[in-house]
C-alpha cells in the first residue's frame, strides 16, 4: 500500500505570493490533517478534514486554508506569504474519525524569501 504522498517536496516563494500544497492520503483513509513544523514553534496543528468536511482548525490566520476532495486528496493554500511561513508542512492521514494512528508524509519544505 502506498504511503502518504506530498507534493511538491520543496518550494521557494517570495513574500506576498500564494502557494498550494497537495497531499494524497493512504488508500481508504478518510481523514487528512495538516501540521506546520518550525524550529521555534515545533509541530502545530493546522486543520483536519474528514469526508470533505473540516472538523478541527488550529490557531492560524485566515491566510491558511484547506480543502478535501471526494477522493480524500487534500490541498492547503497559504495566501499573502510572510517570511514566518517558512516551514516544513506535514500532511497525515488516518482511517477513522477519532483517536486514530496518523500516518505522515515526508512533508513540503516551504521557503519564503
Partner 1 sequence: AQSVTQPDIHITVSEGASLELRCNYSYGATPYLFWYVQSPGQGLQLLLKYFSGDTLVQGIKGFEAEFKRSQSSFNLRKPSVHWSDAAEYFCAVGAEYGNKLVFGAGTILRVKS
Nearer to partner 1, 25 or 78 (CB): 25
Considering the rule CB under 8 A, would residue 55 count as an interface residue with partner 1? yes
Please state, in angstroms and as integers, the Cα–Cα distance from residue 2 to each residue in 39, 50, 55, 87, 111, following that order: 29, 20, 25, 25, 27
Whole-angstrom Cα distance, residue 3 to residue 10? 18
Whole-angstrom Cα distance, residue 7 to residue 103? 16
Query: Which residues 8-47 are close enough to bind partner 1 by CB under 8 A?
Result: 31, 33, 35, 42-43, 45
Taking the complex as a whole, the smallest distance from the CB of residue 77 to partner 1 amounts, in Å, to 20
Among 50, 81, 87, 110, binds partner 1 (CB under 8 A): 50
Considering the rule CB under 8 A, would residue 103 count as an interface residue with partner 1? yes
Please state, in angstroms and as integers, the Cα–Cα distance from residue 54 to each residue in 36, 65, 81, 98, 100, following that order: 17, 10, 22, 14, 17
Query: Which residues 58-87 are close enough to bind partner 1 by CB under 8 A?
Result: 58
List interacting residues with partner 1 (CB under 8 A).
4, 31, 33, 35, 42-43, 45, 48, 50, 55-56, 58, 88, 90, 92, 94, 96-107, 109
Amino acid at each position: 500500500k502506498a504511503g502518504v504522498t506530498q507534493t511538491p517536496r520543496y518550494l521557494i516563494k517570495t513574500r506576498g505570493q500564494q502557494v498550494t500544497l497537495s497531499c494524497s492520503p493512504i488508500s481508504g483513509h478518510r481523514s487528512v490533517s495538516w501540521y506546520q513544523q518550525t524550529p521555534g514553534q515545533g509541530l502545530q496543528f493546522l486543520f483536519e478534514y474528514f469526508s470533505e468536511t473540516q472538523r478541527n482548525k488550529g490557531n492560524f490566520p485566515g491566510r491558511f486554508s484547506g480543502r478535501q476532495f471526494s477522493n480524500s486528496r487534500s490541498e492547503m493554500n497559504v495566501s499573502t506569504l510572510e517570511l514566518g511561513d517558512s516551514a516544513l508542512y506535514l500532511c497525515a492521514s488516518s482511517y477513522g474519525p477519532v483517536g486514530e494512528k496518523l500516518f505522515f508524509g515526508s512533508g513540503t519544505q516551504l521557503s519564503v524569501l
